[in-house]
Every structure is written in C-alpha cells, then in structure tokens.
Chain A
Amino acid sequence: MPEPAARPGGRFAPGDRVRVAAVDPDHHTRMPRYARGRAGTVERVLPACPLPDDRARGVPQPRVEPVYTVRFAAGDLWGAGTHTVTVDLWESYLESEGS
C-alpha cells in the first residue's frame, strides 16, 4: 500500500483509524496501558508538544510531536460496554490501523 500523502500537522487526520503501539517501554510514558494495542478513531489533532518519554529521560532534544485525541469504543478496550473513552496520544504512540 502506498504511503499516504504528508498531512499538515502530522501523519493522521480526523476520521483516520489508528492503533496504539502494543509495547511496554521500561521508561516513563503517557501511553495508558489499557489503550495499548487497541484501535480507535482520530477525533481531533492537537498542537505539537514535547514527547514526555524523551523529557522524562532527559533527552537533550526531546521529539516534538502532534498529539491526537483518539476515541475508542468500550467494546474495543474491554470487550464490553457501550460508552466511549477519548485519550490524547502523541504521534509516535500510534500507527495506521491497517499497517
């Protein structure tokens, strides 16, 4: 599949389906454990912010990335429930759902 065209403000746009990386870093992260490996829909793109994973480790030039408000269906998070949960996630926490 060809790479999608670069988008202003980041890789993803509202409506895109994304999946949170299924990783377990041994350093600080703001990637809530319950969302890891789960798929949701980008709801809004927020201004770029320094990546907390880099800042907490004292990386001299922390990566600055767009942050995405991603909405998850409760069924996709917990296997049950009718509500939605919206989580703000830095770009490097996410991949396209299909990739």
Chain B
Amino acid sequence: MSGAHASLPIAARVRRLEERCIAAGLVDDARLDRTLERYLAAASPLNGARLAARAWADDAFRALLLDDARAALAELGLADRLRGREQLRVVANSAERHNVVVCTLCSCYPLSLLGPSPSWYKSEAYRARMVREPRAVLAEFGLELPPEVQVSVWDASAEARYMVLPRRPAGSEDRSEAELARLVTRNGLIGTATV
C-alpha cells in the first residue's frame, strides 16, 4: 500500500473489522495487542542477518539457504518464521550479479526476517521505478554499480518472498559469525545496499 497507512481507507476498514470482532466476542483488545506484539517482537532484521552470516561462514549452509530456504531456516531455529503457504527464496549477490527486491503490486516483504518494511519500500516511486531503472534508483541509495555488474530485480508478485544474500565484505575473514551478523543491514538484505 502507498503512503501513510493510517490515512488510507484500508486502515479504517481494519479498525472497523477489529471493532466488529470485539463486539462479537471473538477477540478482545488485549489479545489482539498481545498477538501483534508477539509477531512483531520476533520479526526483526536480526533474523535475516543471522542467515546471511551463517551462509558466509558455512558453505554447506549457504548452498541449502539458496536451494531450500525453509530447510535452512529450520536449521537456525527459525522454522516458525514462515507460515503455511509462504515461501522464501534467497538470491545471492556475486561479483557479476546484484539482486534487489521490490513488490510493484503492493508491498510484499519478508517481514518476519527483515522486520516491518521501511516506508520508502511501500512508496509508489520505489515500486514503479525499481523495475524500470534500477541502476538510477540504487545510485540514489548511494550504491553505484559498475556497468559490467548485471542487475536482477525480483518483483514479489505472488506468494514467494525474496531476500538478498549480500557478498561477504572484504577483510571480514577473521570475524566470528556473531560479528559478521552485525555487519549486515536491512537494506543489504533488500538489495539497496551492498551489505
């Protein structure tokens, strides 16, 4: 969705639906708040950072993460981060290829691994321009890619969610996995930063 959610008709509809559910005795305010809090408390870019750091430190885990992300999440105790039909695909940056994620139709996003999405991700400008002129948009994020690097844009148009595996930073050979995780940023996992 676009712009500020609170001002949109959908926000009013959600509030009305909440009120109806409460009036019908299906749920109460406290329980709604607890459920949301529990979900959001566990939805953090630290999850994505842990996945990236483990992939950098362990080639077998990296292969699993790229091939079958659900199984890789289970190895890190994050199996419950994917629900039901939800799929995750992790796409790896390399010297030849840079990946970046967008949802042109709405604002689909791997929230449980990256936390709530930034407002620019939901903006019409990002959604319209990233599929059309990604190099220009990435340059505005401060990411100037050499022309020989291929840019792959992933439009999350169906049930699959995408996360980028950044390249391991040069000079990080001696870092522990926990230290590596601290190098990873949310934007790196979206693809609007190198790491």
What chain B residues lie within 8 Å of A21 (beta carbons)?
Answer: none
- The answer to whether B135 has its CB under 8 Å from any CB of chain A is yes
Among B69-111, those with CB < 8 Å from A are 85, 87, 104-105
- The interface residues of chain A lying within 8 Å CB-to-CB of B158 are 30, 46, 49, 67, 88-90
Contact A34 B152, beta carbon cutoff 8 Å = no
How far is A83 from B155 in the complex, measured between Cα atoms in Å?
Answer: 13
- Whole-angstrom distance between the Cβ of B141 and the nearest chain A Cβ: 15
Closest-CB distance, B139 to chain A (whole angstroms): 13
| B150, A83: Cβ atoms closer than 8 Å | yes
Q: Determine which of B87, B131, B150 lies in contact with A47 in the assembled complex, contact meaning CB atoms within 8 Å.
A: B87
- When chains A and B are docked, how far (Å) is the Cα of A69 from the Cα of B154? 9
How many residues of A sit at the interface, in one of the four size bands?
20 to 34
- The answer to whether A87 has its CB under 8 Å from any CB of chain B is yes
Query: In the complex, which residues of chain B have a beta carbon less than 8 angstroms from the beta carbon of A81?
Result: 132-133
Flag whether A61 is at the interface (Cβ < 8 A).
no
Interface membership of chain A positions 63-99, coded 1 if the CB is closer than 8 angstroms to chain B and 0 otherwise:
0000101010010011001111111111000000000
CB contacts (< 8 Å) of B105 on chain A: these are 30, 32
Option from A32, A67, A71, A82 in Cβ contact (under 8 Å) with B159? A67
Chain B residue contacts of A82, Cβ below 8 A: 147, 150-151
Binding site for A on B (CB under 8 A): 85, 87, 104-105, 131-135, 147, 150-160
Nearest first, the 6 closest Cβ-Cβ pairs linking A and B are A88-B158, A83-B151, A85-B153, A87-B155, A88-B157, A67-B158
